[in-house]
Structure formats: C-alpha cells, structure tokens
C-alpha cells in the first residue's frame, strides 16, 4: 500500500463531507432539486472511485 | 451509531433547522470540516512551530492575523480561546485589583466573570427596560458620571456589548465610544454576536478593542477560538511578551487556541468575509419572521425596533395559554417543533424564548415562521 491510498482515503472522506453539506443545505425536508441530484451523483462517484483505487492497490 | 465511549454521532445540523442563537452562526462550512478532519490531532498546528502560534506560517496564522486585523478595521490581532478570554486579557492588561470598569446593562455574564477574576468592580449602565431593553450612549454617560463622582476615579475601561444575547439589540457603538472617549475611557466592543455575521469596522466605530467569538459567529468548530483585535495605541500594553520567554505573548500564556479550531477559523475566514456582505438578507429574514408572527397574533417581539439582527426574543402568550391545558405542559412546543424539523429552543419554555434565523434560506425562514403560526393555530381551533 502507498501514500496514494492514504490520499484516496482523504478524497473519499472529503466527498462524503460534501454530501453531508448537501443534507445540511436541504434540511429539514431534504427535497433535492435536479441540480442537487446531479451533485450527489457526482460526489458518490468520487467516493466510489477513491475506494476502488484503494481496493485495486490492495489486490 | 454509538461510539465505544457511549457518545453518539450528532446529526442535528443535517436533520433539523437548528435555531439556537448560540449555534446558528457557528455552524461550519464543508471546507472547514475538511480542515478540521485533517488537523484534529493534538498540537497538529505545531508541525512547523517557530516558537509562537502568532508567528506560524504553516498553517498561515501570521498572515491570517494581518488579514483579520484589516477585516475588522483594527491594527493588530491576537488569537484567544474565545471572546471571554479576549475580554479577560484586556481587563488584566489595563487594570489593577480594586479598579473599576463600566459595562452595559445587557452585558454577558462572561464580562462580569472576567472582571471578577481580575478583582475589578463592574458598574453596569441602566437599560430602557421592557420591552426594548435598549442601551444608549446616554445610559453610558449617566453611569460613567455618577460612578466617577461616587468613586473619585474614572473607570479603567468600558466594555460595550455590540449585540446582546438576550434581545439581539444592536447598540449605537460609535455613539457610546464617543461618550467614553470624551471622558478618557478606552472602549472594548464585545462582538460575540456581531463580527463574523455582520460588517463591523473598529475604525469606523472608534473602539480600541474588539473581542470576537469564532465558535459563536465565525462558522468555526473543532474547539474554541476567539480573536482580540486592537488599535495600535494599546499594542504594547496588551500584546506584551514574557521576559523569560520573549517570543511568548503573556496574556495568552504563550499560545492560545493551538488546535484544529485555529485551522477551522482560517478555513472559515473566506466564507465569513463573503457572508457578512449579505447581512442585509439576514436582517430581512428576521424582519419578515417578526412581521409574520406579529400579524398572526399572540406573539410580541422583545428588543428594539425595527429588528436589526437575527437573534429574535419573543413573548408568546399564545403558547403559554396552550401549555396550561396541554398534557405535556410547556414541553409541547419543543416537541411539536421537532416533529416539524425544527430544534433549538429551550424545552419547556412557552412564555418567552429566543431563537436565531441566521443562515436560513428564504424558504427556510418562511417555513420557520409558518410553523410557529401553524402550531399556535393547531390548538386554537380545537
């Protein structure tokens, strides 16, 4: 494992914090606009890509 | 989820509109939480220590202090653990035990405690009383002149609460500073509820010191942080250094907020600098909520009018009447609000309470007022 995996851990965490911000912005009903949904999809993709990269290095 | 220590995660800011005046303007931005996440370990800020927190370049604390001094219209600044520690430092620097200072009638308890710890008496001004509780320059003039006649010496300092935490009144700080300076008294402005939310210039207001609470009004978390900004005239008296440890400022015992909170403050600063330019929107929200509630009947606003701050104190006889017969007594209100996704008022209070509309969107501000009214009407129609 390398620094890259550590860096990807931060990338995943930071994207999750951005998702947390989305919940904060839309409280208390969490009704998401189309823009919000696109942002959420992009952030989830970032988290997945970071985790995939860690998993790949582990193999 | 509960951690092994028994503490659970806190999802208040994600699930609810939190209207607790202590917390609305200390809510962090995503970038700030990322910074806290990275710098959370003990003494992490000291990786590249040069002997003193205030001279640190990584993270850029030295540059931040210069920027924040300019932002506040002052000539220097130091980090503290909060506004109360900033007030303590100034009182400690300017007084001797047995001296006296003057403070407004709406002063926060921490002003009084800071003076008490310094063995300094506090003379408090009158206020206009109910319902405005206004403090004016005339109140300060009267307190200063009466107390000086009785004590034979002028006060060593005036501490002025810019915006009080009970009614959200914004005082005429420039007028009060003039009254104090005309009598040779330096002025500390306690801005725990103002700087970081609204534009404040020490130069324009003519004050000598500004005490700030970062965790209350500068969107800063990860611990406690404050700022003491000061005019150049008092730099040597307040920002003085240890004889034996000459890089260590005495009043902060060398280094103050030496953890993730200072990184959070630096990370929050661009966001704070931008948000104060939208203060008129915050005031408009508060005024809209006040109007909707008063038009609905059963709500009476305490404090000065027109409303000029997001902290709103209300007398609510409508709710108090409901509490008399409700099976949950006064607790019905907090419970009903929570069911509508709103938290932050003290459970059990129905006669009078305060809340803050800071940081709400237009829709959220309207939803808050409508919910207050809906709860009242729900029981009125039974």
Query: What 8-state DSSP symbol labels residue B309?
Result: S
Residues in a beta bridge with B198: B195
- pLDDT tens string B119-176: 999 999 999 999 999 999 999 999 999 999 999 999 999 999 999 999 999 999 999 9
Which tokens belong to B378?
């729900």
CA distance B95 to chain A (A): 45
Count Cβ atoms within 10 A of the Cβ of residue B130 and give its class: 0-12 exposed, 13-18 middle, 19 or more buried: exposed
Options 3.90.1150.10, 3.40.50.300, 1.10.8.50, 3.30.70.260; CATH for B12-19+279-378 is 3.90.1150.10
Tokens (6 digits) for A58: 């582990």
CB B226 within 8 A of CB B79: yes
Q: Which residues of B touch A (CB under 8 A)?
A: 13-17, 27, 29-30, 33-34, 37-38, 340-342, 364
Which residue stretches of chain B have pLDDT < 70?
Answer: 381-382
Host H or E run for residue B236: helix B235-238
| Alpha-carbon distances, residue B137 vs A2, B79, B128, B180 (angstroms) | 64, 30, 12, 9
All structural domains of chain B with their residue ranges: 12-19+279-378, 30-275
Name which of B17, B29, B33 is nearest A28 (Cβ-Cβ): B17
Break chain A down into helix, strand, coil percent, rounded to 5: 80, 0, 20
- Distance spanning both ends of chain B, measured CA to CA: 40
Contact list, B38 vs chain A (CB under 8 Å): 10
Contact B14 A20 (CB under 8 A): yes
Residue B82 is classified by DSSP as S
High-pLDDT (> 70) share of chain A, %: 100
The pLDDT of residue B17 is 97
**DSSP structure string for B41-81:** STTGGGTT--SSGGG--SS-HHHHHHHHHHHTT-SEEEEES
The two counts, helices (H) then strands (E), for chain B are 15, 12
Locate the chain B residue with the closest alpha carbon to A19. B30
Taking an 8 Å cut-off on Cβ atoms, the answer to whether A17 and B34 are in contact is yes
What are the tens digits of pLDDT across the range B11-42?
999 999 999 999 999 999 999 999 999 999 99
Of residues B16, B34, B38, nearest to A27 (C-beta): B16
| E strand intervals along chain B | 17-18, 76-80, 100-103, 121-124, 158-161, 187-190, 209-213, 226-230, 300-302, 311-315, 342-343, 352-356
One of 3.40.640.10, 3.40.50.150, 1.10.150.120, 3.40.50.1820 is the CATH number of B30-275, namely 3.40.640.10
Our CA-based measurement puts residue A26 at a distance from the nearest CA of chain B, in whole angstroms, of 8
């Amino acid at each position: 494992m390398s620094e890259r995996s550590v860096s990807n851990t931060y990338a995943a965490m930071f994207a999750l914090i951005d998702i947390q911000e989305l919940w904060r912005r839309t409280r208390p009903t969490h009704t998401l606009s189309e823009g919000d949904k696109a942002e959420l999809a992009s952030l989830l993709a970032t988290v997945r890509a970071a985790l995939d990269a860690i998993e790949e290095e582990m193999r | 989820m509960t951690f092994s220590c028994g503490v659970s995660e806190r999802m208040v800011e994600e699930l609810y509109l939190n209207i607790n005046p202590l917390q609305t303007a200390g809510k962090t931005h995503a970038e700030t939480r990322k910074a806290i996440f990275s710098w959370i370990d003990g003494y992490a800020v000291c990786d590249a220590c040069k002997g003193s927190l205030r001279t640190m370049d990584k993270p850029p604390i030295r540059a931040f202090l210069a920027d924040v001094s300019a932002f506040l219209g002052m000539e220097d600044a130091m980090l503290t653990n909060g506004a109360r520690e900033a007030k303590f430092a100034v009182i400690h620097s300017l007084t001797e035990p047995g001296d006296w200072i003057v403070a407004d009638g709406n002063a926060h308890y921490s002003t009084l405690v800071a003076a008490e710890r310094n063995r300094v008496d506090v003379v408090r001004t009158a206020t206009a009383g109910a319902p405005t509780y206004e403090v004016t320059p005339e109140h300060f003039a009267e307190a200063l002149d009466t107390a000086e006649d009785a004590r034979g010496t002028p006060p060593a300092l005036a501490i002025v609460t810019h915006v009080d935490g009970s009614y959200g009144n914004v005082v005429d700080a420039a007028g009060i500073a003039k009254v104090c300076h005309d009598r040779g008294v330096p002025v500390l402005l306690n801005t725990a509820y103002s700087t970081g939310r609204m534009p404040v210039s020490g130069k324009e207001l003519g004050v000598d010191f500004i005490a700030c609470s970062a965790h209350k009004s500068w969107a800063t978390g990860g611990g406690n942080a404050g700022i003491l900004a000061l005019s150049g005239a008092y730099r040597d008296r307040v920002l003085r250094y240890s004889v034996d440890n000459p890089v260590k400022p005495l009043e902060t015992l060398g280094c103050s907020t030496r953890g993730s909170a200072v990184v959070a403050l630096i990370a929050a600063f661009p966001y704070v600098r931008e948000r104060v330019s939208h203060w008129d929107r915050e005031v408009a929200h508060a005024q809209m909520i006040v109007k909707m509630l008063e038009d609905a009947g059963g709500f009476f606003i305490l404090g000065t009018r027109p409303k000029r701050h997001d902290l709103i104190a209300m007398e609510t006889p409508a709710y108090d009447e409901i509490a008399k017969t409700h099976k949950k007594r006064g607790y019905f209100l907090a419970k009903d609000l929570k069911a509508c996704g709103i938290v932050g008022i003290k459970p059990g209070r129905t006669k009078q309470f305060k809340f803050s509309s800071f940081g709400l969107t237009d829709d959220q501000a309207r939803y808050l007022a409508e919910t207050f009214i809906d709860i009242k009407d729900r029981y009125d129609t039974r």
